[in-house]
Structures are given as structure tokens and as C-alpha cells.
Amino acid sequence: MRAFQVTEFDTPPVLQDVPKPEAGKGEVLLRIEACGLNFADLLMVKGTYQERPPLPFTLGMEVSGTVVAQGEGVTSPEIGDRVAVFGGNGGLAEFGTFPANLCVTLPDEMPFEHAAAFQVAYSTSHVALDYRAQLQPGETLLVLGAAGGVGLTAVELGKLMGAKVIAAARGADKLEVCRQAGADHVINTRSEDLREAVKSLGGADVVYDPVGGDLFTAALRACKPEARVLTIGFASGSVPQIAANHLLVKNINVIGFYWGGYLRFKPQVLTDSLKQLSQWYAQGKLHPHISHTLPLDQASDGLELLRSRRSTGKVVITP
């Protein structure tokens, strides 16, 4: 089968022929129909992500597909079931093996492409906003990097949860995507002063930040008293240093959040989140935004769309 693999860290991944895997104990073999790309895939190529699989490994964190074989001890999901799974890697291939207990059965109305764009982005934002920051109706939510894969879901979910949403992104086209996702106000970080723009709108109760760098600092200074700042990631490439006196003066909380960590120490948090999100999807309340759908032999192009920030929402690869 074909697989898009990292053979050396910090060198371009390659599409190559590898043996088709067999489902081991507690695993299922999936025919992979779609794989959502994430910024973390770029970090995995460099070898700088929190998880560092042994070389060589197949990229692709979140997949959807059809169960074609069960390993020892597996009774569910059944052969023929349509499922999605966050496997951490292995998704950019024609087939892959994944733990059966992590597979989520798809609603009939959810296409594979939506399923591959759904788990990480939506659940990251849902768990961050609901479980960690405890966003309340009527509060003001500032979303940085708001047109990106997770940022756009934070805009959509924030609005669904009753917040006033301020979306910050680079360029008019991306801001229009944010408006369509429900943003009440938009800020062009390419041409506007983020701190002053947010303060003119009354300040932020919750900040959702997958960007880091100077935008984190500006957002922190635009917070209301008792605000909560969620650190989701550092797409800018710069990890900000926090001036603790700013936290003290305004009684601000800075909250770290790594979605994948809950798989190890509190998986029920993610299970509950995905259950709620699936219900909202089935009710027509969530609308995954996919800007590009590409075949497996264009996976490099998909990663470049993320690297150059030319995508909005998600990029999906269909093996």
C-alpha cells in the first residue's frame, strides 16, 4: 500500500510503498477514506512535537474509514462499520491499524471528509472552552488565528455556547470566513492593533490562543479582570513569556491545554465532548469548514497550505 512517511526528522516526508499492516490484539484495520491535517503534523516532521514516534512513521493524526478486519479480542466496532479515530499518526495511508477502543462510530449523515475534519479541531475547542475555561453565555470570547483549523471551530462553538465572539485573523478573505462561522466582530491582525481593537469592544473574558508570540501578549493586555487565557499552541513559532505582574493586577488565569494529553490521563473528558459534538452535528448546529480536499499524492501540497497559512478551516487528504 502507499503511505506518506517521515523517514528522517526535518526532511520532507515521502510517499512510498510499504507492507499493508495487520490488526494486532485490541486493534482494527481500517481502509482509510479521509485524513485531516493538523499544524501538529508540521511539528512531527521536524521532530519537535510532544509525541515523537520512532522512524520511519506515517503522518496523519485523525482519520475516518471503514473497518475491514478485527484483531484478537475485538468485537466492536464491527467489520463494515464507518468510524473515526484519533491515532496520533498513521492516517496518511491507504490502510492503517488503530486501537478499537478509540474508534467512534460515525452518524449516518456524516461524510468521511467531515469526520476527518471533526475530532481534533472541534473537540479541542469544545474541551478548552467548556471544560477548561468554563465559558459562560454573555461573556466575550477573543479567538486568535480564528480562520485556522481549530480557531474556526472556536468561533463557531463560542457562538453556539452564547458568547460574544471576536475573531482575529490575517486578511479580508479569512475574516469573511470567520463572519460566516458566527463571529460578531472581526479584527485584521495584519493592519490593526489587536490590543486597542479588543479594548474598544470592551475587552475579553476568555482568550483562545493557538498562535502565541506577540499576539498572546497583546491579547493578555486586552483582558478584563478575572479573564481566562487558553494557550492552545504556538503557530507563530514563538512561545511567549508571561509577565506575572499582569496576571496579578487583573486576577487573570492562564490555562494550558493539550487535547491529546487527556487520552492518557482522563479519556472520559474527550469521550463526553465527542458525544456532545456528534449530537450538535446531527442537529445541524455544526458545519465543518474544509477549504481543500486533496488526494494522497498531494499530501505535501496540503502540508504546505498549512505552513504558508493559505488554508482556512481544515485541509483533508483522501487516500
The CATH number covering residue 248 comes to: 3.40.50.720
Residue 249 falls within a domain, yes or no? yes
Beta bridge partners of 316: 36, 293
Confidence of residue 274 (pLDDT cuts 50, 70, 90): confident
Looking at the predicted structure, is the pLDDT value of residue 164 above 90? yes
Query: Would the pTM count as exceeding 0.85?
Result: no
The total domain count for the chain is 2
Q: Is residue 283 part of a domain?
A: no
- E strands, 170-263, in order: 185-188, 204-209, 223-231, 253-256
Do 94 and 203 lie in a common domain?
Answer: no
Let me know: does 226 contact 199? Beta carbons within 8 Å: no
Q: Which residue has the cell 458525544?
A: 275
- Domain containing residue 71: CATH number: 3.90.180.10
Lowest average pLDDT, out of 154-168, 184-198, 229-243, goes to 229-243
For 12-43, how does the pLDDT look when each residue is reduced to its tens digit (9 = 90+)?
A: 999 999 999 999 999 999 999 999 999 889 99
Examine the domain organization and report whether 171 and 255 are in the same domain. Answer: yes
pLDDT at 235: 86
Q: How confident is the model at residue 295 (pLDDT cuts 50, 70, 90)?
A: very high
**How confident is the model over 188-227, as pLDDT tens digits?**
999 999 999 999 999 999 999 999 999 999 999 999 999 9
What is the domain extent for residue 236?
121-260
Asked if pLDDT for residue 275 goes beyond 90, the answer is no
Mean pLDDT of 83-99: 94
Domain match, 181 and 207 both: yes
Residues 85 and 153 in one domain: no
Residues 199 and 304 occupy one common structural domain: no
Q: CA 305, CA 168: separation in Å to the nearest integer?
A: 19
